[in-house]
Structure 1
Amino acid sequence: MESRPLGKTDIHLSPIIMGTWQTGKSMWTGIDDAQSEKAVRAAMDAGITAFDTAEAYGNGHSEKVLGKAIGSRRDEVQILSKVFSNHLKYDQVVGACNRSLKNLGTDYLDLYQIHWPPGSFGAKPVPMEETMRALTDLKDQGKIRAIGVSNFSLDQLKAISEIGPIESLQPPYSLFWRHVEPDTLAWCQANQVTILAYSPMAQGLLTGKFGPDHRFEKGDHRSGNRLFHSDVYPHVQKALEALRSMAEEKGITMAQLALAWVIAKPGVCAIAGARNADQSTDNARAADVRLTDAELETMDRISRPVVDLIDDNPVQWKW
């Protein structure tokens, strides 16, 4: 699998990154640790080298499962983790990083990201300068190799970039969810800030596995995803019918089609979750899919009725 540079660093990531939110179990249903470990190993075997996790995913459980699965193959991969918005004071950042290192069984992170902007989820706002000072010190100590942010607006990204080097932005980005277009995407491309797109399959919606009458189990946070709401969902289903035909014509899965659309954008990698080994292997194969300009234009046209229904709120969920 090809690799892509992370920002201005000499770190290279696979264009398909394995996401491990589901591995933490919290806010998900039907997740099995043994299957999660197999999913990680299958991803490595298929050429995926980058793995994204966070302290908030199951209160460190995702990190522990990921670290166990990687095991002795640490030198083959890049590990990306995140510090949550309630841990952004200097000592809290350092403590969170040390816990993540212990959970993962490693002595360094390739990328450490601020998960949500200061003040998110009722956390007391912390000056970005204080948080960046902690991150810079961790980098100087060799505990992290690069610094990134997640869920930041363009104004917030510009502000923190004035304080220190930011190599990546992790926003939700898919064919159906395009709040980063055009301004944030263009700014990141112009300033060599890599976009690590999460929910590139719209939390499974773009795989085509959820029919018109689908209902999530109790405890599955995806029930709050605005793409599943009644005013949008019928338009989603109509678009999926057309996308299914495109995938069949190309001899690929709908998941691969969705991921290929994301990574066709310069400077963008796609973070794809997987519950089992088969999903990991399927996701990895998306890196080999090439979409023509005409196909990209067709996908844009198909998705536009859905995209146009979404308001300016960049958060996918209504919790």
Structure 2
Amino acid sequence: MARLLGKSGITITPIIFGTWQAGKTGWVGIEDAEVIQAMRAAYDAGVTTFDTAEIYGNGYSEELVAQALHSVRDRVVYATKVFPNHLEYQQVMDACEGSLQRLKTDYIDLYQIHWPAGSFKNKVVPIEETMRALNDLKQQGKIRSIGVSNFSKEQLAEAAQYGQIDSIQPPYSLFWRQVEQDIMPYCVENDISIIAYSSLAQGLLTGKFGPDHKFAEGDIRTKNKLFQGEHFQRAQKALDQLRPIADRHNCTLAQLSLAWLIAQPQTSAIVGARNPDQAVQNAAAAEVTLNPDELEEIDRISRSVTDHLDADPVMWNFAA
């Protein structure tokens, strides 16, 4: 099941446990004990790769990862991210140190730039300066590989001029496919892994959110374009067409969506879990094998949603 992370020689799993929710910010109804149990359950089910970030709950998510996995640290891969307010040379060095301490480890397997410099009104730092810090951290053995997240193809190519980039982390799912246009061909050509986030379109692909669903106050999904208006209606129709395929495989809609995603070139899927049962179900998606006809059929159904989206790669109306 394992696959290589870019050219790094590091082995990752096709299903990656995501811990955005564990930080609690932007999510509701998350319990620490259950998240820790979910990470352990994912590990027991064969998932060895765990993705977090310093910004998730201001480091809280990283601390929970350490609590859950410290005893098996040598058998898991930690991926974390530096936020765009820390992209000057010394800021990167300090941010990495903070992540190392919270993760209770002396190395990070994959260290990623979370958003390009200048995002969220942060200072624009030349990518050359940020990469110099990341290369130094790699030389010191504090990180084993470098990745980027939410970069355009141009930004990815520019970063790659200053060092080896082993992965890019974009939003990518059956209902969100902008990455396929120019980033994916570049990654295939340059042996860069695609680590998809929001791989279930923030839960939409589970089929659990019917036409009348109302989210709790403070839930980030209220700003997600896919949960709004005609996009949401088209998604519901597409889910109805996907259900018979899932039934044929005796799997859930979520597992079917993940199976399709990890069958795409270079792609592994980050997926979160609130409890152990969800974690085990997510891990089982790696066992679902789709034949070429099914992949094509799913692709066609998916386009009934994605063909109507604009080219903006950001999934949320953050300004709204």
TM-score class, shorter-chain normalisation, is over 0.9
Q: Distance in 2 between matches of 1:166 and 1:225?
A: 29
Q: For residue 34 of structure 2, what is the amino acid of its counterpart?
A: Q
Match of 2:257 in 1: 258
* More displaced stretch, 59-68 vs 299-308: 299-308
Q: Taking every aligned residue pair, what percent have the same amino acid on both sides?
A: 58
1:143 and 2:142 aligned = yes
Deviations 1:208-237 (A, max 9, x none): 110111111001111111100112111110
Q: For residue 186 of structure 1, what is the amino acid of its counterpart?
A: P
Q: Distance in 1 between matches of 2:19 and 2:108?
A: 15
* Structure 1 gaps, min length 5: none
Equivalences for 1:1-319 in 2 at 5 Å? 2-319=1-318
* Structure 2 gaps, min length 5: none
Offset of 1:122 from its aligned partner? Answer: 0.2
Q: Which runs of 4+ in 1 moved over 6 A?
A: none
Offset of 1:182 from its aligned partner? Answer: 2.9
Deviations 1:77-109 (A, max 9, x none): 000000001100011101111111111111110
User: What SS is found at the alignment partner of 2:7?
Assistant: coil
Q: For residue 259 of structure 1, what is the amino acid of its counterpart?
A: L
Q: Distance in 2 between matches of 1:243 and 1:23?
A: 29
Q: For residue 312 of structure 2, what is the amino acid of its counterpart?
A: N
Deviations 1:8-45 (A, max 9, x none): 11101001000000000010000000000000000000
Q: Distance in 2 between matches of 1:101 and 1:294?
A: 45
Q: For residue 134 of structure 1, what is the amino acid of its counterpart?
A: A
Q: For residue 63 of structure 1, what is the amino acid of its counterpart?
A: E
Offset of 1:193 from its aligned partner? Answer: 0.4
Q: Distance in 1 between matches of 2:301 and 2:147?
A: 32
Is the 8 Å Cα contact of residues 235 and 305 (structure 2) preserved in structure 1?
A: yes
Q: Distance in 2 between matches of 1:141 and 1:159?
A: 23
* TM-score for the superposition, normalised by structure 2: 0.98
User: What SS is found at the alignment partner of 1:149?
Assistant: strand
Q: Distance in 2 between matches of 1:312 and 1:13?
A: 30
User: What SS is found at the alignment partner of 1:203?
Assistant: helix
* TM-score for the superposition, normalised by structure 1: 0.99
Offset of 1:267 from its aligned partner? Answer: 1.3
Offset of 1:304 from its aligned partner? Answer: 1.2
Offset of 1:112 from its aligned partner? Answer: 0.1
Q: For residue 203 of structure 2, what is the amino acid of its counterpart?
A: G
Is the 8 Å Cα contact of residues 249 and 288 (structure 2) preserved in structure 1?
A: no
Q: For residue 199 of structure 1, what is the amino acid of its counterpart?
A: S
Offset of 1:300 from its aligned partner? Answer: 1.2
Offset of 1:245 from its aligned partner? Answer: 1.8
Deviations 1:44-92 (A, max 9, x none): 0000000000001000010001110002100110000000011000111
Q: Distance in 2 between matches of 1:60 and 1:144?
A: 18
Q: For residue 36 of structure 1, what is the amino acid of its counterpart?
A: V
> What is the root-mean-square deviation in Å for CA atoms of aligned residues?
0.7
Q: For residue 305 of structure 1, what is the amino acid of its counterpart?
A: S
Q: For residue 106 of structure 2, what is the amino acid of its counterpart?
A: D
Is the 8 Å Cα contact of residues 132 and 162 (structure 2) preserved in structure 1?
A: no
Q: For residue 124 of structure 1, what is the amino acid of its counterpart?
A: K
User: What SS is found at the alignment partner of 2:202?
Assistant: coil
Offset of 1:266 from its aligned partner? Answer: 2.5
Offset of 1:250 from its aligned partner? Answer: 1.3
